[in-house]
Amino acid sequence: MTEAAGSEAGNITVELELVAEVVSQQLESMLSVGNYDAVKLLLKPVQPVDIAEAIGNLPTNLQALAFRFLGKDEAISVYEYLDSATQQSLLRLLRSGEMREVVEEMSPDDRARLLEELPAKVVRQLLSELSPEERRVTAQLLGYEAETAGRLMTTEYIALKENQTAAMALEIVRRRARDTETIYSLYVTDAERCLTGILSLRDLVTADLNARIGDVMTGDVLSVATDTDQEKVARTIQRYDFLAVPVVDSEQRLVGIVTVDDVIDVIEQEATRDLYAAGAVQAGDDDDYFTSNLFTVARRRIVWLSVLVVASFFTSEVIAANEAVLKQVVLLAAFIPLLGGTGGNVGAQSSTVVIRGLSTQSISVLKPLQAVLREAMAGALLGVLMTIVVLPFAWWRGGGALVGVSVGISLLAITTLAATAGAAFPLLFDRMGLDPALMSTPFITTCTDVAGTLIYLKTAQWLLLNLPQLGQAAGISTQFLAASAF
């Protein structure tokens, strides 16, 4: 976690997203002409994350050259921010001695992420070069499941003892400040390394120097387990405005902490996932859509598209099966897309608010049945409002009362049904322990399409048979229909 410093390229204020681009261009031209003093001057005020992006933008042959200009501490920070392709190519290009030190001193969580991406052979090689302690920590982190607190956490934290004084604790903080991820949350453990309390550096600096840590700390500690899902870890830190949350194993021993900066990335990642699900795109591990090749892109989209196309086959079946009524009143076809589309849109709205509500937990003010009922009522209300506009249009465009009334009646039924289904399916999935976002908007849209088309055509058929006077304006004979109906 960086704390508080900043960069502007020179004295010119550059738009945030352009800093790395500008640095990268200057870096490339300086390196090509061998103006190495300028490189050092250029990089001095730039933030590690921007240097990492700038190096990532360089041609491969210049990346290693640029990386060598960084001081030791800076090289480590920059390396942590590099994308995994550049990390790997630096590992190949630079002498293993140079890289060993960088890998040894990386944050354990960033190192675990790096090793995950590497071929097994390279991992074994790298692990064998680490000090026994770092090797142990890395192997431990790699042992936890992806997307859990165990994988997200860092093992670099400051643990104090209850019988230490505030003065002793401050001295420990001072000594460990450089090589630990955060010094702002401090943890108190007993002889078995079990977590017994927590205090902030704020508590410590305001405490009397002779006070016992056991008296200053807070004993009621909220912690997460190593196998807690990363989304839940993120919600905990977000809800309580923590800077970090401790991670304990099954025996309540403190094994690591998750810091707020990692949590922001998790929240962003989960939001991307929800959005992609809403758009029927399969999310990747990283937000790497724009850097992956066309076939990966197609693969991440074709699965959902195929499912939806097959679902559409049912709509085709419904229409084909009701060919008779369409033959009688071809203009009925003109409103199939409108009805399917409106049903889909209402269903999409309902599933969107419910899925997001489940994700942010804002839906918890309602019981599931209440939420579904509320959506059903909202759907009916929206249906009434839209019928006021759509019925006259359909009457006019459809050449008479038959089409108008069929569209009006089915619009009401479809919006109510769509809103109910849009709310109920994600809630059902959630209840069954599945990801509610799987009940994505496009899926609900497509289901609504099938049901809506069926309701519409059956309504029209029924009206033609039972209230034939409605069809008279359109000059429709009901004889053929009567023979083929139902």
CB of 1 or CB of 65, closer to a copy of itself: 1
Please work out the total of residues on this chain that contact a copy of itself, with binding judged by CB under 8 A: 138
Distances (CA, A) of 207 to 75, 160, 176, 300: 37, 15, 20, 55
**Residue linked to tokens 């289904």:** 421
- Residue 99 or 443: the one with the smaller Cβ distance to a copy of itself is 443
Binding of a copy of itself at residue 438 (CB under 8 A)? no
In whole angstroms, the minimum distance from the beta carbon of 4 to a copy of itself comes to 4
Q: Does 281 bind a copy of itself (CB under 8 A)?
A: yes
Q: Which of 486, 392, 410, 402 is nearest to 449 (CA)?
A: 410
Binder of a copy of itself out of 84, 89, 165, 272 (CB under 8 A): 272
Which residues in 123-152 contact a copy of itself (CB under 8 A)? Answer: none
Ranges of beta strands (E only) in 39-167 are 159-160
**Binds a copy of itself by CB under 8 A, chosen from 26, 189, 226, 236:** 236
- Count Cα neighbours of 45 within 13 Å in the Cβ-side half-sphere: 10
Q: Which of 41, 333, 434, 482 binds a copy of itself (CB under 8 A)?
A: 333
Stretch of 133-141, 144-152, 176-184, 463-471 contacting a copy of itself, by CB under 8 A: 176-184
Q: For a copy of itself, which residue of 41, 85, 139, 330 counts as binding (CB under 8 A)?
A: 330
Task: Scan residues 57-86 and list those touching a copy of itself (CB under 8 A).
Answer: none
Distance of alpha carbon 306 from alpha carbon 393, whole angstroms: 34
E strand or H helix that includes residue 244:
strand 244-248
| Candidate segments 35-43, 89-97, 148-156, 284-292, binder of a copy of itself by CB under 8 A | 284-292
Residue 468 near a copy of itself by CB under 8 A: no
Task: Decide: is 25 part of the binding site for a copy of itself (CB under 8 A).
Answer: no
Question: At which residue do the structure tokens 């401090």 appear?
Answer: 186
Please report, as residue ranges, which positions from 361 to 400 form the binding site for a copy of itself (by CB under 8 A): 361-366, 371, 374, 377-378, 381-382, 385-386, 389-390, 393-394, 397-398
Which of 88, 165, 312, 478 is in the footprint of a copy of itself by CB under 8 A?
Answer: 312
φ, ψ (nearest 5 deg) of residue 8: -130, 135
What span, in angstroms and rounded, lies between the C-alpha atoms of 51 and 68?
Answer: 12
First and final CA of the chain: distance in angstroms? 69
Residue 41 corresponds to which amino acid?
L
Is 223 an interacting residue with respect to a copy of itself (CB under 8 A)?
yes
Residue 417, amino acid: L
Count Cα atoms within 13 angstroms, Cβ side, for 42: 23
Q: Are 279 and 244 in contact (CB under 8 A)?
A: no
Residues 393-432 that bind a copy of itself (CB under 8 A): 393-394, 397-398
Bridge-partner residues for 197, per DSSP? Answer: 188
Asked if 183 and 176 count as a contact pair (C-beta separation under 8 A), the reply is: yes
Q: Residue 126 or residue 340: which is nearer to a copy of itself going by CB?
A: 340
Q: Look at residues 409, 382, 408, 383 and name the one whose alpha carbon lies nearest to residue 396.
A: 408
Task: Please say which residue, 51 or 103, places its beta carbon nearer to a copy of itself.
Answer: 51
CA separation for the pair 78, 425 (Å, rounded): 45
Kindly state the tokens that stand for 244: 């970090």
- Binding to a copy of itself by residue 200, rule CB under 8 A? yes
By C-beta, is 141 or 339 nearer to a copy of itself? 339
From 31-39, 145-153, 158-166, 321-329, span contacting a copy of itself (CB under 8 A): 321-329
Quick one: which segment of 97-105, 133-141, 221-229, 426-434 binds a copy of itself (CB under 8 A)? 221-229
Q: Which is nearer to a copy of itself, 126 or 455 (CB)?
A: 455
Asked if residue 178 binds a copy of itself (CB under 8 A), the reply is yes
Neighbours of 341 (CB within 10 A): 14
